[in-house]
């Protein structure tokens, strides 16, 4: 039998990073969440620059319209929030989990990251409808593929 070395898929970095999950969540790694913790932020706003394909996550307070509650991760190893409506609004294709490097903008009190154009719609065209991914769609697809076990 030939042994094969498993290559770890999780990449640890000492820089702040953002992950957009296939469940429509924006997750901050430990280094990114510590930046928000250092200014005692519990809520954030999402900003979008459609010309440069940049996203900003800015410190907010709970009374700001459109503020998202920053939920700490398990064992304090990050934070995150659900952003399905935002991701659909910008037509981001969130069917695949992807990570992006980010930078802290001290003057704006926000984390800034770029999203490559090819991650929008199926061809990078922002005008193209994305075809929203819904849980009921996943269930139906799983049933059709026979991936679900019959319930007893």
Following DSSP, what letter does each residue of 27-81 receive, concatenated?
Answer: EE-HHHHHHHHHTT--EEEEEEETTTTEEEEEEE-TTSTTPEE-EEPGGGS-EEE
Task: Return the bridge partners of 26, or none.
Answer: 20, 81
Structure tokens that stand for 81 in this block: 């929030």
Longest dimension (CA), the chain: 61
- What pLDDT shows up at residue 11? 59
Q: Which residues contact 139 (CB under 8 A, 6 or more apart)?
A: 148
pLDDT-derived band at 74 (thresholds 50, 70, 90) equals: confident
Q: What is the pTM of this model?
A: 0.72
Q: Give per-residue pLDDT as tens, 93-130.
A: 888 899 999 999 988 889 999 999 989 875 444 554 55
Over 80: is that where the pLDDT of 89 sits? yes
- What pLDDT shows up at residue 151? 45
CB atoms within 10 A of CB 67: 18
Domain boundaries, the chain: 17-145
């Amino acid at each position: 039998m030939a042994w094969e070395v498993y290559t770890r898929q999780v990449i640890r970095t000492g820089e702040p990073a953002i992950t957009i999950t296939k469940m429509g969540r924006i997750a901050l790694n430990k280094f990114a969440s510590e930046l928000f913790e250092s200014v005692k932020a519990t809520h954030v706003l999402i900003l979008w620059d459609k010309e440069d394909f940049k996203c900003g996550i800015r410190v907010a307070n709970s009374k700001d319209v459109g503020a998202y509650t920053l939920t700490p991760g398990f064992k304090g190893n990050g934070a995150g929030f659900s952003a399905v409506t935002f991701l659909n609004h910008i037509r981001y294709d969130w069917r695949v989990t992807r990570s992006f490097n980010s930078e802290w903008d001290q003057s704006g009190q926000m984390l800034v990251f770029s999203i490559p154009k090819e991650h929008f719609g199926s061809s990078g065209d922002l005008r193209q409808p994305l075809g929203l991914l819904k849980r009921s769609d996943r269930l139906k697809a799983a049933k059709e593929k026979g991936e679900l076990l019959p319930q007893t």
